[in-house]
Structure 1
Amino acid sequence: MPGPKPDPVVNTPELPAHADVVIIGGGIAGVATALELADRGLKVALCEKGHIAGEQSSRNWGWVRLTHRDRRELPLMVEAQRLWQAMDARIGADTGYVRCGVTYTTATAQAFEAERSALEDLQPYQIPARLLNREEALAQFPGLSLDITGALHNPYDGRAEPQKAVPAMARAVQARGGSVHQDCAVRVVETAAGRVSGVVTEKGRIACSAVLVAGGVWSRLFLGNLGIALPQLRTKGNVLRTDPVPDGPEGTLKFRDFTMRRRADGGYTIASALPSRYQLTPDSFRLLKAFLPTLRNEWRNVSLGLGPAFFEALRTPRRWSATEVSPFERARVLDPVPDETQIDRALEVIREAYEPFRTATVAQKWAGYIDVLPDIIPVISGTEGVRGGIPGLYVSTGFSGHGFGLGTGAGRLAADLITGAAPIVDPAPFRLHRFSDGSGIRPTEGVIQR
């Protein structure tokens, strides 16, 4: 069953000879940055090897949440949510954003106590989240029967529609004079006098003074061809959506075995809350040392497997020139096969526990690849501080399953860095050279969940 179909975006007819900034990648990180730059009067060209939001930006859960954020990314998420709230009016289109509230249930007394830490993280931002006992938590979803001890409820958490939001923003970039080029992979970045001077795409050259690499799971491969190291792996997320469910809840729910959120069409996006089986690749071994601090914390939750992804990676070239067909032209859109057993089990738990879902039918199942960094927070940074770094070359990637909600804030921060404006938040936690400056990898700070 193929992945979700994002709303279409019509290509800009002509590839420009020149742009102020070229964005590589048509997911939310790249498109939100393009929108910010276009609103500041810069000429932007956005190049996407496949189509806008073709990969994880249309395949994620659609959550826009403040809760369970790493403490280092929480200030950026506060700004991101503020931008989400104003986005529909800003671009004159519907992203599906709704502040619906999310209820994070707990199955044990220990887990309930752990939610106090998550609550404390939110308090400095005057967010009215609160702990609920078992009866209060179940009252949020009348008729629900789950074995829980309580919950953390945040009424400020929300949702948006992944298949609508990023395409709507991309069309807004075009309305502001920017250009969008799909089926147009960037092969290499060119330099002159020691800094970025342009890019070569499969359809021609664009001169520019700045480039942002926002390529999701492809970012490590692209940067590696430039001699820049990014310790990035990928994992798979599995999702299904139902047909419309009469009398389904408005609020979003997370339980030990599943997550669910209402969609604009009246159906529900459902996923397992358990981690998917991780498919080993050659990079898993190359980057083992970098990921060890995280693995020490998470090894109980990791299930390893060897499959087609390993051999696919072995066949993928790691070096190419401006005149060669790049790996990005050989695989336009990654559309992995979902682990159906896992998501079917999640739906079955919901059917057994919640009357409105007893006869819920599955409309679609899909999977997507999530880009992961060792400390589970993104890179939003220039590259000058790392070996092989180039003035004028920037990176926004590695969102580790948190990128859809963070995307608007990430776009604002990346635009600030590119233009030299005062950054919306302290950019230090997101610097690329944290992996090479001797500061060490710090595993997640606080409780985080996708």
Structure 2
Amino acid sequence: MAPVITPVSSSTELPASTTVVIIGAGIVGLSAALTLAERGIPVVVLEKGRIAAEQSSRNLGWVRKMSRSAPDVPLALATDQLWAQMPERVGADVGYRQAGIMYVARNPAEMHQHEQWLSSVRDLPLDSRLLSAAQINEMVPGGQGRWVGGIYTPSDGRAEPTLANSAIAQAAIKKGALIIENCAVRTLSLSAGRVSGVMTERGEIRCEQVLLAGGLWSRRFLSNQGISLLTLPLVASVMRTAPMEGPTDIAVGAPNFSFRKRLDGGFTITQRGALYAPLMLDSLLLGMHYLPTLRAQWNNVRISLGREMVSDLMLARRWKADRISPFEYLRTMDPPCVPALNKEAMTNLIAAWPVFKNAVIQQSWGGMIDVTPDSLPVICPIDKIPGLTLASGFSGHGFGTGPAAGQLAADLILDTPPLVNPSPYRLDRFQK
């Protein structure tokens, strides 16, 4: 069962025209809409299902800079400021707490990875530091894990996906944005090769610019426009506990589990060392691009051939504007959680911090992540179709960097000085 977000009163009437259309009401699309509305730009957000019903509400809620590749750190740094300002900006508590994130290592090889990362970002303004086993035991008491050390970033934190998306959406609406749910965009309208609008299941909206922030659906949408986006799906299994006494407010990631405190007093837990990889047609089409990642992370991926392949093959890869699109046949991707992974996570967590024997699991769910070969998103204008900008492929990092990613996308749409250097996020990096 998916997490339930705070309801939002969205619009029902489709306008004839606007300046910017955003496809997808996840946190990136909503953040872009809020930024544009604050700047006085007319914007309409179109969501095939419900606001934040997919990965934007199903993620872990971590807001981190730690262990990101050096080119991605500036976006994460910018996000810290935006999350800190968010309660005042949207007039609501989004659950943001700068309580720190810690990774722990079981052996010297894992510790070496943390040391290597810290060395790779030594010139960036980060407060990350290495920890000894004794420091871990002091900061997260009651543990029985035999850690050789770890790494800790005090300025990292967390926010609540079930609160933040709704609050951002409501703030955007108050600033003048229109958000329309259950309205799929079938394709783009083009004039002389340039975006002139979008064709939805309810009719056409004319516009000057389109932002595609469709998450795992962006590849299929772009493919119908003759553009290739390299993303493959991975499924994370997550659970939350009832309110309980825990060892720390710090979010902790071990190689085979993670936990973080929730605003409601419970904990969000997952098997950090394992993701479920459903084999689909794209797995065969794009697999070669992911071989380096698979060689490095093979133990973290559980590959399975099941009903996902059949379901995927039943969805069209080419369609016309007057035909029902795949986004209408399947409005919400709702993958089941994998009970075995959740069981592994709890077993590993209890062995490390026995206090979690008292945990009462109140809910479990699955979430499908769109992953690029280098785990960096694509945030850039699409050169082949002037007027189209893409913000997708966040590889499980979309919620944490969502406010900054949305603002960067808005900057690119308006051709204003960008929040950060956008060059690491160009689509053509996969073509080199």
> In which range does the TM-score fall when normalised by the shorter chain?
over 0.9
Post-superposition offset of 1:293:
3.3
Which segment is superposed worse, 121-130 or 418-427?
121-130
CA distance in 1, matches of 2:299, 2:237: 20
- Count of paired positions: 432
For residues 161-203 of structure 1, give each alpha carbon's deviation from its aligned partner in whole angstroms, at most 9, with x where no partner exists. 0111111101111000000001111111101132111111112
Which segment is superposed worse, 96-105 or 198-207?
198-207
Aligned partner of residue 228 in structure 1, secondary structure: coil
Give 2:47's aligned residue. 48
Give 1:12's aligned residue. 11
Instruction: Note if contact 2:215-2:393 (Cα within 8 Å) is conserved in structure 1.
Output: yes
For residues 213-272 of structure 1, give each alpha carbon's deviation from its aligned partner in whole angstroms, at most 9, with x where no partner exists. 111110010111111111111110110000001254211111122100000000000000
Give 1:162's aligned residue. 161
Tell me how large the CA RMSD over aligned residues is: 1.4
Could you tell me which runs of 5 or more consecutive residues in structure 2 were left unpaired when the two chains were aligned. Answer: none
Give 1:395's aligned residue. 390
**1:3-402 correspondence to structure 2 within 5 Å:** 3-384=2-383, 389-402=384-397
Residue among 412, 427, 432 paired with 1:432 = 427
Give 2:412's aligned residue. 417
Give the AA of the match of 2:131. Answer: L
Instruction: Note if contact 2:258-2:272 (Cα within 8 Å) is conserved in structure 1.
Output: yes
CA distance in 2, matches of 1:90, 1:368: 28
For residues 408-435 of structure 1, give each alpha carbon's deviation from its aligned partner in whole angstroms, at most 9, with x where no partner exists. 1111110111000011111111111222
Instruction: Note if contact 1:67-1:122 (Cα within 8 Å) is conserved in structure 2.
Output: no
For residues 72-106 of structure 1, give each alpha carbon's deviation from its aligned partner in whole angstroms, at most 9, with x where no partner exists. 21111111111111111111112111101111101
Give 2:399's aligned residue. 404
Instruction: Note if contact 2:275-2:300 (Cα within 8 Å) is conserved in structure 1.
Output: no
CA distance in 1, matches of 2:246, 2:274: 29
Post-superposition offset of 1:126:
3.0
Instruction: Note if contact 1:47-1:181 (Cα within 8 Å) is conserved in structure 2.
Output: yes
Aligned partner of residue 433 in structure 1, secondary structure: helix
CA distance in 2, matches of 1:56, 1:117: 30
CA distance in 2, matches of 1:394, 1:15: 22
CA distance in 2, matches of 1:114, 1:434: 25
Give the AA of the match of 1:339. Answer: V
Give 1:446's aligned residue. none
For residues 274-328 of structure 1, give each alpha carbon's deviation from its aligned partner in whole angstroms, at most 9, with x where no partner exists. 1223111111111123223333433344332201111111111111122111111
Change (3 A) 1:247 1:309: closer
Give the AA of the match of 1:140. Answer: M
Identical-residue share of aligned pairs (%): 42
Instruction: Note if contact 2:190-2:197 (Cα within 8 Å) is conserved in structure 1.
Output: yes
Could you tell me which runs of 5 or more consecutive residues in structure 1 were left unpaired when the two chains were aligned. Answer: 440-450
Instruction: Note if contact 1:245-1:356 (Cα within 8 Å) is conserved in structure 2.
Output: no
Aligned partner of residue 71 in structure 2, secondary structure: coil
Give the AA of the match of 2:388. Answer: L
CA distance in 1, matches of 2:121, 2:156: 11
CA distance in 2, matches of 1:15, 1:330: 20
Aligned partner of residue 358 in structure 1, secondary structure: helix
Post-superposition offset of 1:358:
2.0
Change (3 A) 1:126 1:229: closer
CA distance in 2, matches of 1:113, 1:130: 13
CA distance in 2, matches of 1:182, 1:205: 15
Aligned partner of residue 205 in structure 2, secondary structure: strand
CA distance in 1, matches of 2:309, 2:354: 42
Change (3 A) 1:87 1:121: farther
Instruction: Note if contact 1:351-1:359 (Cα within 8 Å) is conserved in structure 2.
Output: no
Which segment is superposed worse, 26-35 or 242-251?
242-251
Give the AA of the match of 1:39. Answer: E
Give 1:448's aligned residue. none
Instruction: Note if contact 1:191-1:198 (Cα within 8 Å) is conserved in structure 2.
Output: yes
What is the TM-score normalised by the length of structure 2?
0.97
What is the TM-score normalised by the length of structure 1?
0.93
Instruction: Note if contact 1:122-1:129 (Cα within 8 Å) is conserved in structure 2.
Output: no
Instruction: Note if contact 1:234-1:372 (Cα within 8 Å) is conserved in structure 2.
Output: yes
Post-superposition offset of 1:355:
4.2
